[in-house]
Amino acid sequence: MTVTADMLRSHPGYHGGVDEEALAACIDAVAECATACTACVDACLADDDPSRLRATIRADQDCADVCSTTATVLSRRTEPDVNVLRALLEACRVACRRSVDAAREHADRNDHCRVCTGAARRAEDACTTLLRRL
Amino acid sequence: MTVTADMLRSHPGYHGGVDEEALAACIDAVAECATACTACVDACLADDDPSRLRATIRADQDCADVCSTTATVLSRRTEPDVNVLRALLEACRVACRRSVDAAREHADRNDHCRVCTGAARRAEDACTTLLRRL
Amino acid sequence: MTVTADMLRSHPGYHGGVDEEALAACIDAVAECATACTACVDACLADDDPSRLRATIRADQDCADVCSTTATVLSRRTEPDVNVLRALLEACRVACRRSVDAAREHADRNDHCRVCTGAARRAEDACTTLLRRL
Amino acid sequence: MTVTADMLRSHPGYHGGVDEEALAACIDAVAECATACTACVDACLADDDPSRLRATIRADQDCADVCSTTATVLSRRTEPDVNVLRALLEACRVACRRSVDAAREHADRNDHCRVCTGAARRAEDACTTLLRRL
């Protein structure tokens, strides 16, 4: 079991009825996507010609920030507000989708874009799944 | 002029047609709200009985995180994606509204909740204004 | 292999001589600690009497923020500056130690403090190890 | 008066003896530096040849992250730990100095690097001043 699932289970209460497994999976997927996007931005910057990767860099920068905040907010169980969760998961889904669209064009040439595309796709799916269960 | 407006004006291009004044005002308002919410969470925690302030603390924690990410994303002008901006501004608006609703109940007794409510209301308004101009 | 190790390996260059394994282990440990601390803060807030947990909450809040920034900075390989890395790893080590000291007092009663103490101890160790190899 | 000073003054207690004015000035300076660095990274990315600005981009990315975390941690007054504050202010000072050194080379040609250098220098000074008063 991951630390995430361990922490969710040890919370004293205030669970608000969210599906525990979908929640833990989403937290881990968006946190992993944030890590992948941060590293992909950096790898793009080290490219021979970073100017050709501007759209990918921008998409990954935003995706890293939104995913990181989403992981943090989802990790809280006390006094949740479903409107905030929904709106943030929706923003996260959109940012992940943008990242997939921008990075996959370079997935053949850049291995880091390929790995990042995979992480962003999994995060997008995890947000979509969790949105359905809120 | 603020550093924010100064930086927006010195960007070499890729502006994407956003209203400069509304953008700078929104960045400053959400950054200020993040600062106010972080301090309000901390002041609530120092309260004689923090348990009565749980909903405010939670709302302010989320609002600080979402506002901080929104300020960061809005500060970028290169290769913007209007869908990401819209979804994030909408999430920020919802998080600010939640913070206003939770903190204003305590605004009479806690000065920090009063100041925080004002900052969150200004941030909510700035997001609403910018959303209309995107 | 984790996404972290995968991303580090796919970076086009600019490695700066850091021990790859210690780096990936440190990024994962501090990212996990950030997640654990965020959840622990929230679980402490849901306690019957959060006022008895103020020092733990504060320590975990700071530890989450510093660990999250450390994970982000360590994930970058392009044009590194060893002075920045050293100073940040040192700050992270201190924040993790503070978190261990504050949370372990409550580890017997609160399972979330026990899990968080373990994550903070692993993050502290990973920072110490990486500092030696920079 | 800024929202920062307003919030510091409305905190119910736990002040820990820090110089209020130096603290508010430091929070505002590092928050402003974070904003400037985020915008400078983005403006550098929009440059005709971003590859010549790699060291500045990397320095500003790290500086934005460390300054943002420092602003957040400094905004908390409850149960402070002077070792964490010192280590983080020291890391922030080093990150700001690195940013000044990297960006000033481009200050003549890029107005955003000039503005960012100023913000980073003010943040570095504010950290140094606050470190002396802790």
Instruction: Give DSSP secondary structure letters for chain D.
Output: --HHHHHHHT--S--TT--HHHHHHHHHHHHHHHHHHHHHHHHHHTSS-GGGGHHHHHHHHHHHHHHHHHHHHHT--SS--HHHHHHHHHHHHHHHHHHHHHHGGGTTT-HHHHHHHHHHHHHHHHHHHHHHH-
As a whole-number percent, the residues of chain C with pLDDT over 70 amount to 96
Given CB atoms, is D111 within the 8 Å cutoff of chain B? Answer: yes
Q: What mean pLDDT do residues C44-59 have?
A: 95
Query: Per-residue pLDDT for B14 more than 80?
Result: no
- pLDDT at residue number C1: 55
Q: What mean pLDDT do residues B85-109 have?
A: 94
Distance CA C124, CA D1 (A): 39
- Residues in A touching C14 (Cβ below 8 Å): 46
- Residues in C touching B58 (Cβ below 8 Å): 42, 45
- pLDDT at residue number A130: 97
Per-residue confidence band for D17, with pLDDT thresholds at 50, 70 and 90:
low
Other Cβ atoms closer than 10 A to B132? 9
Q: What angle do CA D45, D46, D52 make, to 5 degrees?
A: 55
- Read off φ and ψ for residue C31, nearest 5 degrees: -65, -45
Interface partners of D (3+ CB pairs, < 8 Å)? Answer: A, B, C
Q: Which residue, among C99, D42, C40, has the nearest Cα to A75 in the 3D structure?
A: C40
Q: What mean pLDDT do residues C96-110 have?
A: 91
Q: Taking CB atoms and an 8 Å limit, are D66 and C88 in contact across chains? A: yes
Query: Per-residue pLDDT for A1 more than 90?
Result: no
- The residue type at A119: A
Q: Taking CB atoms and an 8 Å limit, are C58 and B45 in contact across chains? A: yes
Distance CA D44, CA B41 (A): 35
Q: Taking CB atoms and an 8 Å limit, are A51 and D54 in contact across chains? A: no
**For testing the chain B interface, which of D2, D9, D14, D38 should be mutated: the one with the most B CBs within 10 Å?**
D38
- pLDDT at residue number A108: 85
Nearest residue on chain A to D57, judged by CA atoms? A45
- pLDDT at residue number D6: 86
Other Cβ atoms closer than 10 A to A133? 12
As a whole-number percent, the residues of chain D with pLDDT over 70 amount to 96
Phi-psi region of B18 (alpha: psi -120 to 50; beta: other; left: phi over 0): beta
Given CB atoms, is D14 within the 8 Å cutoff of chain B? Answer: yes
Indicate the residue of B62, B76, B91 with minimum beta-carbon distance to A91.
B91
Other Cβ atoms closer than 10 A to D132? 9
- The residue type at D54: R
Q: What mean pLDDT do residues A58-70 have?
A: 98
Token representation of residue D19:
């110089």
Distance CA B36, CA D5 (A): 10
Distance CA D69, CA B30 (A): 16
Query: Per-residue pLDDT for B103 more than 90?
Result: no
Q: What mean pLDDT do residues C47-52 have?
A: 94
Token representation of residue D34:
């974070």
Q: What mean pLDDT do residues D63-79 have?
A: 96
- pLDDT at residue number A20: 87
**For testing the chain B interface, which of C41, C51, C52, C56 should be mutated: the one with the most B CBs within 10 Å?**
C51
Q: What mean pLDDT do residues B77-90 have?
A: 96
How far is B51 from chain C, CA to nearest CA, in Å?
Answer: 6
Q: Assess: ipTM above 0.85.
A: yes
CB–CB of A109/A62 below 8 Å?
no
Distance CA C67, CA D88 (A): 11
- Residues in D touching C57 (Cβ below 8 Å): 78-79
As a whole-number percent, the residues of chain A with pLDDT over 90 amount to 77
Mean pLDDT (chain D, rounded): 92
- Residues in C touching D65 (Cβ below 8 Å): 69, 72-73
How far is B65 from chain C, CA to nearest CA, in Å?
Answer: 11
Per-residue confidence band for C11, with pLDDT thresholds at 50, 70 and 90:
confident
Q: What mean pLDDT do residues B38-67 have?
A: 96
Higher pLDDT, B17 or B44: B44
Instruction: Please report, in angstroms and rounded to a whole number, the separation of the first and last CA atoms in chain D.
Output: 23
- pLDDT at residue number D103: 86
Query: Per-residue pLDDT for C14 more than 70?
Result: no
Mean pLDDT (chain C, rounded): 92
- Residues in B touching A90 (Cβ below 8 Å): 87, 90-91
Distance CA B117, CA B100 (A): 5
Q: What angle do CA D52, D57, D58 make, to 5 degrees?
A: 115
Interface partners of A (3+ CB pairs, < 8 Å)? Answer: B, C, D
How far is B42 from chain C, CA to nearest CA, in Å?
Answer: 8
Given CB atoms, is D130 within the 8 Å cutoff of chain C? Answer: no
Indicate the residue of D35, D48, D68 with minimum beta-carbon distance to B4.
D35
Q: Taking CB atoms and an 8 Å limit, are C39 and A112 in contact across chains? A: no
Q: What mean pLDDT do residues A111-126 have?
A: 96
Distance CA A115, CA C9 (A): 11
Query: Per-residue pLDDT for C16 more than 80?
Result: no
Higher pLDDT, C34 or B10: C34
Query: Per-residue pLDDT for D51 more than 90?
Result: yes
Other Cβ atoms closer than 10 A to A109? 10
Token representation of residue C44:
């402490």
- pLDDT at residue number D87: 98
Helix (H, G, I), strand (E, B) or coil at C31: helix
